[in-house]
Amino acid sequence: MAISVFELFTIGIGPSSSHTVGPMRAARTFVDGLRDSGVLPAVAGVRAELYGSLALTGKGHGSDTAVILGLLGETPEGVDIDSVPQLLGAVSDGLLLRLGGEHDIRFDPAEHVDFRRKEHLPGHPNGMRFVAWDAAGAELRARVYYSVGGGFVVDELAAGADRITVDDTPRPYPFATAAELLQICRDTGMSISSVMLANEQAFGRTPEEIRSGLLAIWAAMRRCVRRGVITEGTLPGGLKVPRRAPRLYRQLGGYCDEDGMLSPGASVDPDPMRGSDWITLYALAVNEENAAGGRVVTAPTNGAAGIIPAVLHYYGHFTSGAGDDGVVRFLLAAGAIGILFKENASISGAEVGCQGEVGSASSMAAGGFAEALGGTPAQVENAAEIAMEHNLGLTCDPIGGLVQVPCIERNALASVKAISATKIALRGDGTHFVSLDKVIKTMRDTGRDMMDKYKETSRGGLAVNVIEC
């Protein structure tokens, strides 16, 4: 299995790639299987069983609503986020669900979405099982799926396939480690983004299509930031967390340019750290949108969705010579680094803690930024390593099971850390003591050693030491 950059960066909805996007895709896949096998018209009932981390924090992450939307035939990419309350209300009020948008069945969310908090499935902490039966109660189809991080979903036969061991798409420059990627760059004289561009064409896309697709991802990130700074109010879920991005935006006095990109504009503010305020704003705007169930770009997860957009905005506004070419190089290089984490460790908070989400995103952003600024492959790898090294051991302990505290601020700080890592790397020649491969392996080992209560279960850390208001 080979991963495309367009699988790491996907347009979906919040608040979680593993707990919202993944379950929605799994439910939709299950319905498609019913249709393909010809039994959809005979279905009288469906039950979704959520296990492990999905059960423990699924309510706060909207896993139940995601499952219902998937059973209705919706997708994270295509669902109209403004219509979601109406779609869910129709199911709850009538206790009927139009399976796949074409066949009505009785469905009571309280009965047919089963949170099995004390049970786990063997393949991954984010396990789920779907069962469909006919009018006589006979089982028509049952399937197990795992949401393995970043919105990726595998079935029980492919459990563990988030570790890429076999490429099924031949690529001109295959690599499984950072060392192999750097060797390709040395042998060919190519940059990391050029290697990725060549590999992306193996998925059947032209260079022009790849460029336009990546710029569309960038446009979606900008729209998310813009919506985040104009939307006032309190985030859903019970913690009563206020949106801070709109107020911060007013305080900073920026404007929205013709491309829909938030700009600092001219300022007499002498504070040399002014740029960090804008980085914070960009990240807060995205992650507040995510927490509210808005439209975000998974990069590589929803819980860490603000980091790459924040660093890209910083690149666009605080560096000279920035432009679309640099954005494309940034995302291609960031994608290469994300593939390394996906292949050799994990981007799932339920599996390795937040180091796998925020840590991976910070590493991707640092490497992408270094690439956009013209760094050598060795400097890009060094920037990615620095950012990840200083996120090792980061726990996933969301208060109330919501992607709000400490998740939103954590994105802002990790964005600043990514930029600092890039600046450190670009001041050197790429020579460094710890390799990216070693730090990725360390992250995976640390995740294995980490107690489950610190891995997206809300049973440890801040989740139990801070009283929910």
pLDDT attached to residue 1: 57
User: pLDDT confidence of 314, banded at 50, 70, 90?
Assistant: very high
Q: Is the pLDDT of residue 159 over 70?
A: no
Let me know whether 118 and 258 are in one domain.
no
Let me know whether 91 and 201 are in one domain.
no
Is residue 173 assigned to a domain? no
Task: Check: CB of residue 333 under 8 Å from CB of residue 197.
Answer: no
- What is the average pLDDT score of the chain? 93
pLDDT attached to residue 27: 98
Residue range 29-45: average pLDDT?
97
Q: Is the pLDDT of residue 184 over 90?
A: yes
Is residue 282 assigned to a domain? yes
Is residue 163 assigned to a domain? no
Least confident window among 118-122, 129-133, 162-166, 441-445:
162-166
Let me know whether 151 and 190 are in one domain.
no
Distance, in Å, from the CA atom of 388 to the CA atom of 144, rounded to the nearest integer, reads 32
pLDDT attached to residue 63: 95
pLDDT in tens, 316-325: 999 999 999 9
Specify the CATH number for the domain of residue 227: 1.10.4100
pLDDT attached to residue 233: 97
User: pLDDT confidence of 163, banded at 50, 70, 90?
Assistant: very low
Let me know whether 432 and 312 are in one domain.
yes
pLDDT in tens, 38-65: 999 999 999 999 999 999 999 989 999 9
Let me know whether 285 and 336 are in one domain.
yes
User: pLDDT confidence of 90, banded at 50, 70, 90?
Assistant: very high
Let me know whether 286 and 379 are in one domain.
yes
pLDDT attached to residue 274: 80
Question: Domain boundary residue among 123, 155, 187?
Answer: 155
Let me know whether 314 and 432 are in one domain.
yes
pLDDT in tens, 366-377: 999 999 999 999
pLDDT attached to residue 275: 86
pLDDT attached to residue 156: 83
Is residue 9 assigned to a domain? no
Nearest residue to 181 (alpha-carbon basis) of 465, 435, 458? 435
Residue range 334-358: average pLDDT?
97
Domain that holds residue 129: 14-155
Provide DSSP, 94-114: HTEEEETTTEEEE--HHHHEE
Is residue 168 assigned to a domain? no
pLDDT attached to residue 253: 85
Let me know whether 234 and 126 are in one domain.
no
Is residue 3 assigned to a domain? no
Let me know whether 115 and 200 are in one domain.
no
Is residue 290 assigned to a domain? yes
Q: Domain count for the chain, please give it.
A: 2
Let me know whether 268 and 355 are in one domain.
yes
Specify the CATH number for the domain of residue 147: 3.30.1330.90
User: pLDDT confidence of 262, banded at 50, 70, 90?
Assistant: low
Q: Is the pLDDT of residue 299 over 80?
A: yes
Residue range 212-230: average pLDDT?
96
- Judged by DSSP in three states, 149 sits in strand
Q: Which residues contact 268 (CB under 8 A, 6 or more apart)?
A: none
Let me know whether 302 and 442 are in one domain.
yes
Is residue 460 assigned to a domain? no
Q: Is the pLDDT of residue 419 over 70?
A: yes
Task: Check: CB of residue 461 under 8 Å from CB of residue 454.
Answer: yes
Task: Check: CB of residue 450 under 8 Å from CB of residue 353.
Answer: yes
Let me know whether 102 and 145 are in one domain.
yes
Distance, in Å, from the CA atom of 256 to the CA atom of 283, rounded to the nearest integer, reads 16
pLDDT attached to residue 261: 59
Least confident window among 145-159, 199-213, 276-290, 430-444:
145-159
